[in-house]
A and B are shown apart, each in its own frame.
Chain A
Amino acid sequence: MRLRAKLAYTAAGLTLLAALLVPFLLMGLFTRTFAAMDLHVDEMYSGGPTVRTVQSGAYSIAIHRPVYPHMLQNERPFVQLDWKPVSALPGRVSDVVDIDGDGRPDVRVSFEAPKDPKTPLRVNVEPLSLRYEAMRNVGKEQYSRLIVRVDDAILIRVPLANQ
């Protein structure tokens, strides 16, 4: 058999070996490699990492890093605030939040925390600084401007004002 054919059959044999190794080695190897690649899900979906948590009695307010859309995304920059756990929230929540941690209040957020998770949520965001926009009864039409319940937290995304 010519050398080229021998090499070809060797390659085919190695491919068969690779097939055997897929569920025991290769799949896990590729999965771990991809997971280790320093990629992250677009913050427009994930809301960005949490930078501070403010404790308010039995519940806490997680403040995320502001998310700026990539240049051609049709969304506004926003900051996400999480109230959790929902079970510890009073029936009506009204909190003044210092988002950027400068000691000055930035927004006043008011919403009803219904027990039934299917009840539509409504929020009133009153900006106390020029950096943030007002929101009222906004629902969940846009990623950059919404109030939703996700698991045991109520998430509010407050758009940053045009500067």
Chain B
Amino acid sequence: MAASVQFGEALVLGLASGPACIAACGPVIVPSLLTERAGLQANAQFLLVFLGARLVGYLLFAIGAWELGALASMLPGSRMLMSGVIYVMLACSLIWYAYSARRMCSPSCSGSRLVNIGETKSRGAGGASVLGLLTGFSLCPPFVVAGIRAAQLSSVAQAVLFFSIFFVGTSVWFVPLAGLSCVTRNEAVVTVARIAMVLIAIYYGSMGIVMMLGGKGNGH
């Protein structure tokens, strides 16, 4: 009974945190999806890989939080440094992803369906997993709350299960993103997405450096 209450709590926490997760992951996932091939299958595949890697990130953190003890890993100073490093890595990944997307317009973007290029498929899986993993480590507040809660459980297996259920709750909110598959992929869309990724990468990179240097996260 106690176990079901705990895991019910994980699901509710995940569902409640979903909008925040979408908002947090949006700057990464929306432009990335727009540089993928059009079509529900390609977008769903990207989303699955992204979410799977995000889950791996969550679970690794859950195990670490349980092993190290929640409070030590949640100290503001160490959290800020870790967030800064992750932000910088995320920025680099986004820039690499935007650069590699130039092949999406080769040989021609004039048609509404892109030519299926072999490299595109492998870029999609590798890029999606890196972005998902880094996003999973991004230590947004609901993630931290779930981490503290998971670390209070009696075994690492329970902590992993708690996080997994929390993850399922948040992931429900990502399903509508598959609707981006309806957007035509042409030179305009891909170029817009690439430039947007670079701008977002610049923001994350700047914030990451500020956090690593111990500064406040924004200019307010």
Contacts and interface: CB of A to CB of B under 8 A. Distances in A.
Q: Do chains A and B touch in the complex (CB under 8 A)?
A: yes
Interface of B: 17, 20, 23-24, 140-142, 216-218, 220
A139 to B, nearest CB: 13
A72 B218 contact: no
Q: Which 10 A-B pairs have the closest CB atoms?
A: A71-B20, A74-B217, A71-B141, A74-B218, A72-B24, A143-B220, A71-B142, A72-B140, A72-B23, A72-B20
Contacts of A75: 220
Interface in A57-74: 70-72, 74
A127 to B, nearest CB: 18
Contacts of A143: 220
A75 B76 CA distance: 12
Interface of A: 70-72, 74-75, 141-143
A85 B17 CA distance: 41
11 contacts: A71-B20, A71-B23, A71-B24, A71-B140, A71-B141, A72-B20, A72-B24, A72-B141, A74-B217, A74-B220, A75-B220
B17 A71 contact: yes
A66 to B, nearest CB: 16
Contacts of A142: 216, 220
A71 B145 CA distance: 11
A143 to B, nearest CB: 6
Nearest to A71: B20
A70 B142 CA distance: 11
A47 to B, nearest CB: 14
Nearest to B23: A72
From B17, B140, B141, B220, name the one whose CB has the most chain A CB atoms within 10 angstroms. Answer: B220
B142 to A, nearest CB: 6
Nearest to A76: B76
A138 B107 CA distance: 59
A152 B11 CA distance: 48
A2 B107 CA distance: 45
Contacts of A74: 216-218, 220
A74 B138 CA distance: 13
A30 B85 CA distance: 46
A121 B140 CA distance: 33
Contacts of B17: 71
Contacts of A71: 17, 20, 23-24, 140-142
A143 B219 CA distance: 11
